[in-house]
Amino acid sequence: MIAHEIDYHLYGEEMQYVEIELDPQEGVVAEAGSFMMMEDGINMETIFGDGSNKNEGFLGSILGAGKRILTGESLFMTVFYNNVSMRRKISFASPYPGKIIPIDLTEFGGKFICQKDAFLCAAKGVSIGIEFSKRLGRGLFGGEGFIMEKLEGDGMAFIHAGGTMSKKILQQGEILRVDTGCIVGFTQQVDYDIEFIGGIKNTIFGGEGLFFAKLQGPGTVYIQSLPFSRLAGRVLASAPQGGGKQKGEGSILGGLGRIIDGDNRF
């Protein structure tokens, strides 16, 4: 498998986007909804499957699309081709505040495993598939279920991490314990399992869930400080009830302030 060789540049800090420069006849595959802007001369094509160059025929394309449904992604992907004789630029944006991480698959043995909503875009020829967990505990309690996403090939791919990103390089046998939702991705050599926190007080009153993700080296791990599920939960918890205006926000009075203001809804 030979992926297209693409050049790129990252812009921004909290809300990043990646600008990819395509040579003539080069292409990039992306998730639906990540497109930001492109120069004239680039054409788009909606496809089944993962956008790799594998010659699997019609049935193979259908199966590839079906695998994407298992990961919770769209049935279709979009490929953008440069069809003119000059270099053209196209940009893809972060879905929420965080960092875009460039992944050179050749540096990781041609395979990288990530959470199912982390993928943003990749060079044409990179295969985007699924990675089944073979351990029952990991599948039931790992936060990402039995299925994670795998990126395979020899090209560039781009994934997104929420908040601030931390890159950890684990040595042989080195262990890192992580909140299950904070994992962005890791290399194929990393051993990933689930560990029970233990202790009645920790379990009932700890507020950190029942399980940690246990990552054991060697390998490289990417961690995010703000998973989207955590961000969405905070936004939902702060939303005013019944569509009304929130009273006393930022005040030490809180609910008492709503009563004083004549709003008895809680």
Which three-class secondary structure state does DSSP give residue 233?
A: helix
Closest CA to 92 of 155, 16, 3, 14: 16
Closest CA to 122 of 64, 57, 53, 67: 53
Round to whole Å and give the CA distance between 188 and 49: 22
pTM (global) more than 0.85: no
pLDDT confidence of residue 181? 83
pLDDT confidence of residue 115? 85
Neighbours of 2 (CB within 10 A): 10
Contacts of 129 (CB under 8 A, 6+ apart): 50, 64, 67, 149, 150, 152
Q: Band the pLDDT of 104: cuts 50, 70, 90.
A: very high
For the chain, the distance separating the N- and C-terminal CA atoms, rounded to the nearest angstrom, is 58
Round to whole Å and give the CA distance between 151 and 18: 18
Is residue 205 predicted with pLDDT exceeding 80?
no
Neighbours of 128 (CB within 10 A): 26
| Token pair recorded at residue 263 | 């709003």
Round to whole Å and give the CA distance between 213 and 60: 34
pLDDT confidence of residue 198? 57
The answer to whether the beta carbons of residues 128 and 79 sit under 8 Å apart is: no
119-151 confidence digits (pLDDT tens)? 999 999 898 888 766 554 554 554 444 568 889
14-24 confidence digits (pLDDT tens)? 889 999 999 99
56-100 confidence digits (pLDDT tens)? 555 555 555 555 565 555 667 889 999 999 999 999 999 888 999
More confident call, 178 vs 60 = 178
Residue 60 phi, psi dihedral angles, 5° rounding:
-60, -40
Round to whole Å and give the CA distance between 254 and 257: 5
Q: Which CATH number fits domain 7-161: 3.40.50.1980, 3.60.9.10, 3.40.30.10, 3.60.160.10?
A: 3.60.160.10
Identity at 156, one-letter amino acid code: M
More confident call, 263 vs 103 = 103
